[in-house]
Amino acid sequence: MRGYFGIGVERLSKPMNAGNLFRSAQAFGAGFLFTVAGSYQQREAHSDTSQSTHQIPFYEFDDVASMLLPEGCQLVGIELMEGAVDLPTFKHPARAAYVLGPERGSLSPEMAARCDHLIKIPTAFCINVATAGAIVMYDRVVSLGRFGQRATFSRNAGEPPTPHVQGTQIFRNKK
């Protein structure tokens, strides 16, 4: 996959959620992590068992104005708000930094104004920060990765369906 991405949180208040987000980000291949207007203490984030902030670059910015991104990197805000693009229709930039709002709030107006794109996960209500970040990172990997088309069925091609008898599956020996 070409390009890179980073992911961060604005006004972080729960280190466990950030730890989970950052651990997932490392697993998905993030190039950097960041916080804006919120501190992250690794020792308080027991969910980050990979100690991601010690493995990949981690930046803490005091406020939106002090936030620096690599040249050509597009900032993508993830927020359930009117006017945001639904994630399934969003074309991820090759060079992106994704930012999520705090657990009990939204991206600040300053952050939303700084974003090149605003996207939303089409859910009925807001979901956990770490979960939302993982969904967006998965979507990025799937849409920008070099995967083949999805199968239209889940068993091996040419294999007949397994018969069922009154709700009980009959198992066959494979030779």
pLDDT at position 149? 79
Number of structural domains the chain divides into? 1
CATH number of 34's domain: 3.40.1280.10
pLDDT band at residue 85 under the 50/70/90 scheme: very high
* 11 in a structural domain: yes
* 123 in a structural domain: yes
Higher pLDDT, 32 or 50: 32
* 164 in a structural domain: no
Flag whether pLDDT at 54 surpasses 90.
Answer: no
Token pair recorded at residue 7: 């992911």
The domain of 90 spans: 4-144
* 84 in a structural domain: yes
CA–CA gap between residue 99 and residue 71 (Å, rounded): 17
Question: What are the residues whose beta carbons fall under 8 Å from the beta carbon of 78, sequence distance 6 or more?
Answer: 98, 99, 100, 101, 119, 120, 121, 132, 133, 136
* 59 in a structural domain: yes
- Which pTM value belongs to this model? 0.82
